[in-house]
Structure 1
Amino acid sequence: MPLSLFHGRQFSGGMAAQLMHGLLCGLFFMTWTLYLQQGLGMSPVHAAIAFVLLSVGELAGATIAAKSAGRFARRLPRTGALITIAAMAGYGLQTAAGQADVNLLGTAAPVVLIGFGLGMVGGPLADLSLAKVLHENAGSASGLFNTAMHLGIALGTALTALVFFATTDGSPDAALNRDAFLTVPWWVGSLLAVMWALMFCLPRQATTPAD
């Protein structure tokens, strides 16, 4: 691993943003699964449909990001992060207000928007973080970037014990699981805000050393 990779602000900042990306995904998806099934009493099929809705939004966001072909540079993933923050806040407020009455149809809009925003982040974040890496270091840089995502997911899943199981203690009680999830959207929103700030380290244009 060439340590010189970390001399560039865009790579170091991109790596940190990718770590935050993995962290929030690990934290949210694990707790969301438990909340939908144990907190709201959804069947595994209905919980899977919720994930499908989020995936549809993510596919739409990724498609827009791919078609832009770097025209908006770092503004695109930053916009995606802001959309996700707003959608996550809306979902958090809706969850807190509805408690046991929250249903899949009523939460479809914020769930799709969460996926849409995340879809706008993934591809451009990788492109911009690696844009100025020298060709001879491309393999190491790509491996480190992917490792940051997996490390973040592992840490986020581990943090579930702090923000979720500390409240439920593994109990299947619906009310306990709903109460435990109420703080999760705000934790995730905070991580998104940090990720958004780190994106200021990315280059304004997606240019490579060869350019």
Structure 2
Amino acid sequence: MLLSLGELAGATIAAKSAGRFARRLLQAGALVASAAMATHGLQADRGQADLTLVAMTAPVILIGFGLGMVGGPLADMSLARVPHEDAGSASGLFNTAMHLGLALGTALTALVFFATTGGSPDAALNRDAFITVLWWVGSLLALMWALMFCLPKQANNQGD
């Protein structure tokens, strides 16, 4: 629920300011989510006693906030230079790629988690797997940030 609230806030801000900040908004969202994942990973690494619901609230909300900033305007930015006559096909391809990415990301995240735990119910091992997944996903978000430089600076056809 906290992740969803953060994502709603991030998407709301993105919808109101995407025209002004365009690609920078997406990149800021990716950095916010990546930094929040790193913070959450460091927090979890300190020990189980410190990992309370209250302590997890801020990083989880910030992860959602950053992802919300990326999710909304990503389609507009990705499809900005597609000719009008190809918009339907490009939109379908974009949506298919997004669904494939979500499915593949979920599967790979689970693979990393269970490869780390080996299926063990040991709490310490599961915490280590959780931390590994946070670093893995946070690193991929940082890579996504770098790839966003390939997006046009504006969502409309004004060019770079």
The question of a shared fold, defined as TM-score above 0.5 by the shorter chain, is answered with yes
Q: Offset at 1:142?
A: 0.8
Name stretches of at least 5 consecutive residues in structure 2 with no aligned partner: none
Counterpart secondary structure, 2:93: helix
Per the normalisation by structure 2, the TM-score is 0.91
Structure 2 SS opposite 1:204: coil
Q: Give the structure 1 partner of residue 81 of structure 2.
A: 132
- The unaligned stretches of length 5 or more in structure 1 are 1-51
Structure 1's 125 and 161: CA in aligned 2 closer, same or farther, altered over 3 A? Answer: closer
User: Amino acid of the residue matched to residue 37 of structure 2?
Assistant: M
By how many angstroms is 1:175 displaced? Answer: 2.2
In structure 2, the partner of 1:182 is 131
Quick check: 2:43–2:50 contact (8 Å CA) kept in 1?
no
What CA deviation, in whole Å up to 9, does each residue of 1:91-114 have, x standing for no partner? 010010023541111110011000
TM-score after normalising by structure 1: 0.70
1:25-50 C-alpha deviation (Å, 9 max, x unpaired): xxxxxxxxxxxxxxxxxxxxxxxxxx
1:157 to 98, 106, 110: 106
Structure 1 consecutive aligned stretches of length 4 or more whose deviation exceeds 6 Å: none
Cα distance, 1:127 vs. partner?
0.7
Aligned length: 158
Cα deviation, residue 172, structure 1: 2.5
- Whether the aligned pair in 2 keeps the contact of 1:62 and 1:116 (CA below 8 Å) is yes
Q: CA RMSD in A?
A: 1.6
CA distance in 2, matches of 1:204, 1:160: 31
Tell me the distance in 1 between the aligned counterparts of 2:80 and 2:127.
43
Change (3 A) 1:64 1:161: closer
SS in 1 for 2:153: coil
In 1, the alpha carbon distance for the partners of 2:38 and 2:50 equals 18
- Shift in alpha-carbon separation, 1:113–1:139, aligned structure 2, 3 A: same
Selected match of 2:14 from 65, 76, 80? 65
Q: Alpha-carbon deviations, 1:58-115, whole Å to 9, x = none?
A: 1001000101141111010001111111111100100100235411111100110000
**Equivalent residue letter for 1:130:** L
Q: CA deviation at 1:134?
A: 1.0
* Corresponding residue of 2:35: 86
Contact 2:109–2:133 (8 Å) recurs in 1: no
